[in-house]
Amino acid sequence: MESRSSRTPLVVIGLVAALVLGLGLGATAFALLGNDPATVVRQVTVTDSEPEAVADGLSIGQIHDRAWKSVVEIAATAGSPSLGEAPTRAQGSGFVYDRNGHIVTNQHVVAGATSISVSFWNGSAFTAELVGTDPSTDLAVLRVDAPPSLLEPLPLGDSSKVAVGDGVIAMGSPFGLEGTVTSGIVSALHRQMTAPNNFTITDTIQTDAAINHGSSGGPLLDLRGRVIGVNAQIESDSGGWDGVGFAIPSNTVRLIAAQLVEKGEVTHAYLGITMVAVPGGVAVTEVRSGTPAEEAGLRAATGAETVDGQERPTGGDVIIAFDGEKIASAAALQSAVDARRSGDEVSITIIRGGKRRTIAVTLAARPS
């Protein structure tokens, strides 16, 4: 699914020593030359989050002391000199996910890599196995055969309980400067980022903690030292940090990383529409051919009208509930579908021609 909205330019900076590694659509992978194309971040309207109490929060120094040995630097190399290809190198960040040697980072940091190295706080470096990637959420899991003394996992927090104004700490290796700590607040919630494969990442966290080239894949921590996000993108006119960064929420990280560790891949559920928010729900603006939405008989808008200066679709279905849960925004519907699996049968309540009806839809696997 995709939602339509105004497009705000977002500079995503994934640079490499000789040329862009893979698609390079991530925010902050660091190297020496090159530039990535821009993507977008969009603001969506949703209900307020439950505030997260931080009265017993730790100091920045205390959080650093707890977490710094769990944050790693990642170097990814691509290209085959034997085939006449110049080697390319990208650099990013990551963190220890479990005691089995699994490391979480961004997909764009390792996209297209032929070899990956993970460096720990003490300078020890290990060749990493790529366990799996998910371009739809820009997440990847690596595995290293490192000593147990180096494998201290960072706990994942509940990103649904993060509130605007909460203090946060970003850790990583911007510009290759390992062990860097920056601090700030949660500037906004429920932003939408465009993933490397052009699908939407919902509910991302906006922060003013400094995130730069090389910070990609590093953790965004709350004031209790829990990971509430994975740093991924920045918005910038200059190409550097302008005070607006974005992190993939920890609840998405928890879901995706678990599947990558277990199966090495992720299958996302798919409905097959484009949509736009309207009062009371989301209007279907396109039903894609051969999708669950088409098979279920959902209807796209056939026209438009202007109300209070805003153009609204007409003549099609307006989705107001998904499996009985009210849908008030495109992001809410996207999140509801993301929480399901391919093959699940769900009920979708719509308004069609002024009448309410409920239809059954069997979700499919999202195309790559």
Interval 245-268: pLDDT, tens? 999 999 999 999 999 999 999 989
Average pLDDT over the chain, rounded to an integer: 86
Q: Count of alpha carbons within 13 Å of 140, Cβ hemisphere only?
A: 30
Q: Taking residues 203-218, report their average pLDDT.
A: 95
Identify the pLDDT of residue 27.
41
**Is the same domain home to 316 and 178?**
no
**Is the same domain home to 260 and 280?**
no
* Marked catalytic residue, from 117, 216, 329, 335: 216
**Is the same domain home to 321 and 191?**
no
Annotated active-site residue 108? The verdict is yes
Annotated active-site residue 190? The verdict is no
**Is the same domain home to 136 and 156?**
yes
Give the amino acid at 52. Answer: E
Residues in the chain: 368
**Is the same domain home to 161 and 251?**
yes
Coil/strand/helix, residue 61: helix
Per the structure, the complete domain to which residue 114 belongs is given by 1-266
* Marked catalytic residue, from 36, 134, 138, 208: 138
Q: Taking residues 106-129, report their average pLDDT.
A: 97
- The fraction of the chain above a pLDDT of 90, given in percent, is 70
Provide the token pair at 66: 């707890």
* Marked catalytic residue, from 108, 190, 213, 268: 108
- The fraction of the chain above a pLDDT of 70, given in percent, is 85
Provide the token pair at 291: 């999708």
**Is the same domain home to 235 and 124?**
yes
Identify the pLDDT of residue 243.
86
Provide the token pair at 363: 């979700």
End residue of a domain, out of 247, 266, 285:
266
**Is the same domain home to 209 and 307?**
no
**Is the same domain home to 139 and 16?**
yes
Q: Taking residues 202-226, report their average pLDDT.
A: 96
Let me know how many helices (H) and strands (E) the chain has, helices first.
Answer: 5, 25
Contact 214, 92 (CB under 8 A): yes
End residue of a domain, out of 245, 266, 287:
266
Q: Which residue's entry shows tokens 């928890």?
A: 254
Coil/strand/helix, residue 334: helix
Annotated active-site residue 216? The verdict is yes
**Is the same domain home to 260 and 309?**
no
Query: Cβ of 16: how many Cβ atoms within 10 Å?
Result: 26
Identify the pLDDT of residue 45.
36
Identify the pLDDT of residue 1.
54
**Is the same domain home to 288 and 192?**
no
Please provide residue 286's backbone torsions phi and psi, each rounded to the nearest 5 degrees: -155, 140
